[in-house]
Structure 1
Amino acid sequence: MKNLALLSISIVLMFGCRNAPQVIKESWTDKPVSSWPNFALTNEISFSDTTYYDIANSFLVSTGSDTIGISCKHMFFLFEELGLSSVDLGDSFESWQMYPKNQKERRVAIKRLINTNPQEQIGQYNTMKVRDWILFELEKQNNQLYPLKIRYTAVQRNETVYAVGWGWEQKDISKPSIRKLQCYKNLDDYFYAQTIKADIHPKGTSGSPVIDKNGYLVGIVSGQEGNMTVIGGIKYLTMMFDKYGIKYNLSNQ
C-alpha cells in the first residue's frame, strides 16, 4: 500500500509539472533599455480650443487577437477645466495621439474611447484608483510601436516590478525612465508598491505601464499615496474586455 501511494503521488506530480504553463520571457528584457522596443508612450490630446502636449503616459497592449491603446482615466481630472464631468470626451474632442516622447513621428491615432460612459462621474481619486484604465480602439496599427503582452496572474507581495514611462521632471528623453518597485500589498483592484530604485521623481508618470521581470504587463501607474505608488491591477482591464466584448487570450504569455 505504501509503495502504491508513493506511485500515485509521483504520477500526480509528474503530470502536474507537465501541465504547468510555461512563461516565455520577452527577449528584449535582457537588453539595455536603449535597445528596448517602443512601448512607453505619451499623449497629445486636442479639443476645439485646447491641445494638451506630452501629457501623462500611455501604451499599447496585445489581447492575443487585437492591439488596443491604454492610458489612465484620472486624466479626466484635467478635462474638468473644459467642463467635462464624466468619462466621455464630449462634443469638442478632436483627436488623441500616442507616441514615444523622444520619437514623435512614431505615433498612433485613436479611433474611439472604448469604455466611454456619460453616466460614470469622474469623481475623486479615492474612487478612481479602482478603475483607472481607459481603453482605445486605434485608427490603424504602427509596427514601430510594441504592444505589451498581458500577465493575467496577480502580483505577489514583495515581487519586483518596473514602471516604465516619462516624467514631468525628466530632462533626458533619449529613453523612458524606469522605476524599480516592490509590491507591498495587493488589494486585487490595485496594489501598493515601494520604490527600490528610480531614475526620476514619479511626478507625471501616471499612465505608465508596469511590467514584471519577464516583460509582461501587470498594471498601470495610477498615483502616489505618501511613499507608496498606487498601481491599477489587471482585474479591471479584463472586466472591461468582458464588458465590451474584447476577445483576449489567457495563454497570450
Structure 2
Amino acid sequence: MNNFGRTLAYILGFILSSSYYPALGQEKETWITKPQAQWPLISMINEVWFQNGERYVHPSFDYVATGFLIQTGTDTLAVTAKHALWVAKTKAMKSVDFGGALQKWLMHPKNNLADSVLIDYLLNADTTETLSGRQSTITQRDWLVFKTKYRSPAIQPLKPRYTLAKPGEKVYIFACPYQEKNCVVYSGRILESKGNRLIITSDTSQKVSGSSGSPIVDENGYLLGILGGSSVNNKTSEPALYGTTTHYLQKVLRQTRPLNVPLTSIGEVLLPIIDKQGIDQAVRHYRTLYNQDQSHFIYNFDSQELNTLADGLVREKKLNEAVQIYLLSLSEFSWSSGTYYSLGNTYALMGKTRLARQAYTRSIQLSPDNKEAKQALDKLSNQ
C-alpha cells in the first residue's frame, strides 16, 4: 500500500472508531467538582526492585517517575511513562520487557506507604521495542500499562478520554517531582495536540524532573494523556511541557497487534519526491501532510527527521535542496539553535557569507553556549 492509501485507510479507521466521537456534554467526575484541597490521591511514585539486586541505573535515584491508576470499565490498571525504563532497568535489559527479572514494582504517594499499589505484570511488554539508540521510538508511545496485585482504595483511578484535545483547554498535571516534598498539582493549557503529542504551557515554578508519567487531566476529571517532560512552545520558543495522548493507551487496552509500530520518518517520504519531482513539490507535500491531523499518527514530523534529511542532501552536494529543508524545519521549529547552525554551514559552503553570518548569529542568540556556531562566525569574520 502506498503512502496515500495508508493515510486514507488510517483516517477512515479513525473516523469509524466510535471511541473518538466527541464527548458532547460529558459530565464532570464527582471528585473534580470539589475544592482542590479535597481532591483524592491520584499521583504516586514508582519504586522498583529486580531479582539480581539491581534497582536503577544510578544509586542517586530513590524512585523513578510518577504513576497513577486508570479505570477501563472492566479493570483498574496502573500506568507510568515507558521511558522510566531508562532508569529502572537491569544492565542486561535492552527492550521493553523484564524477562523475568522484575522482583517488585510498588507505586505509592510520596511519604505514604500505606496507600500503595503493587504491580503484577506488564501488559505491553515487547522484546522487539528497543529501549535506547537511534532505533528507539518509545517516546512516541510513552505508556507502560500494568495489571495489579493490590490497589489501595484511597487511590483515585482516572477514566481515559479518547476525544482529541483542543488548543486552549485547561488541564491539570498530577506530578511527583524529585524536588518537591509531596506530590503536587500543576495547571496549564493545551498549546498543540497533533497525533500522539500534546504540548502544554509551563512556567519556571513547575519542577519537571521526576514528573514523567504524570497524568494529564482535563477540566472534567478525565485522563487526556501522560506527561513526558520538558519541551518548547514552537511559536514563541518559551518553555513548555510535552505529553503523549491516550491514543496508544487505547490500542493497548484493545490488544491491537502489532502494537509498537514506529512512526514513519517524514524524511523517508520526502527524499524520493525530491529526487523525482523536485524540492518545491516535496515542500508542498510536507505542508499538505503536516496540516492533516491524522497524518501525525502515521508520520514523525520532528525537526530531527527533517534535519537528518537535509544533512544527507548536504553530503550529496544538493545544497539548495538542503537549505530548503532546513528552512522548512525552522518554519515549524523556530527555536532550534542546531538547525540554524547547520543552515549557516550550508550557506557557507554555497559561498553565501551574509546569509551564513545571519544563521550563525541566530543560532548563538538561541543558544549562547553554542561554541561551534561562535567559532564558525569568527572564521567568517576573519576571511
Superposition TM-score, scaled by structure 2 size = 0.54
Q: For 1:110, what is the secondary structure of its paired residue?
A: strand
Q: Count how many residue pairs are aligned between Structure 1 and Structure 2.
A: 222
**Structure having the larger proportion of residues in helix:** 2
Unpaired runs of 5+ in structure 2?
1-22, 57-61, 233-238, 258-383
2:226 to 217, 220, 229: 220
Q: Distance in 2 between matches of 1:67 and 1:80?
A: 25
SS at match of 1:240: helix
User: 2:185 is matched with which residue: 166, 178, 182?
Assistant: 178
Secondary structure at 1:243 match in 2? coil
2:122–2:144 CA contact under 8 A, matched in 1: yes
**Is residue 240 from structure 1 mapped to residue 252 from structure 2 by the alignment?**
yes
Match of 1:13 in 2: none
After superposition, residues 84-95 of structure 1 pair within 5 angstroms as 84-95=93-104
Deviation at 1:128, TM superposition (A): 2.5
1:117 counterpart = 2:126: yes
2:147 is paired with a residue whose SS is: strand
- Cα deviations by residue, 1:93-146 (Å, 9 ceiling, x for unpaired): 201011111321111111101111111111359833211001000113431211
One-letter amino acid matched to 2:63? D
**Is the contact made by 1:177 and 1:199 (CA closer than 8 Å) also made in structure 2?**
no
Work out the CA distance in 2 between the residues paired with 1:199 and 1:104: 27
Q: Distance in 2 between matches of 1:151 and 1:199?
A: 28
Q: Which residue of 2 is the match for residue 138 of structure 1?
A: 148
Matched, 1:39 2:42: yes
Q: Which has the larger radius of gyration?
A: 2
CA RMSD of aligned residues (A): 2.2
Amino acid at match of 2:55: T
* Cα distance in 2, alignment partners of residues 178 and 185 from structure 1: 21
Task: Compute the TM-score of the two structures, normalised by the length of structure 1.
Answer: 0.80
Query: 126-135 vs 157-166, which deviates more?
Result: 126-135
Q: Which runs of 4+ in 1 moved over 6 A?
A: none
Instruction: Write the deviation string for residues 155-191 of structure 1: whole angstroms up to 9, x where unpaired.
Output: 10121111111101113x2xx2122122111112111
Whether the 8 Å CA contact 1:114–1:244 is kept in 2: the answer is no
Shift of 1:23: 1.3
User: In structure 2, the residue corresponding to 1:51 is in which secondary structure?
Assistant: coil
2:139 to 129, 136, 140: 129
Task: Give distance in 2, aligned partners of 1:200 and 1:186.
Answer: 21
* Structure 1 or 2: more strand by fraction: 1
Give the gaps of 5 or more residues in structure 1.
Answer: 1-19, 246-253
Which structure's relative contact order is higher, taking Cα pairs within 8 Å and 6+ residues apart? Answer: 1
Q: For 2:241 and 2:24, how far apart are their aligned partners in 1?
A: 30
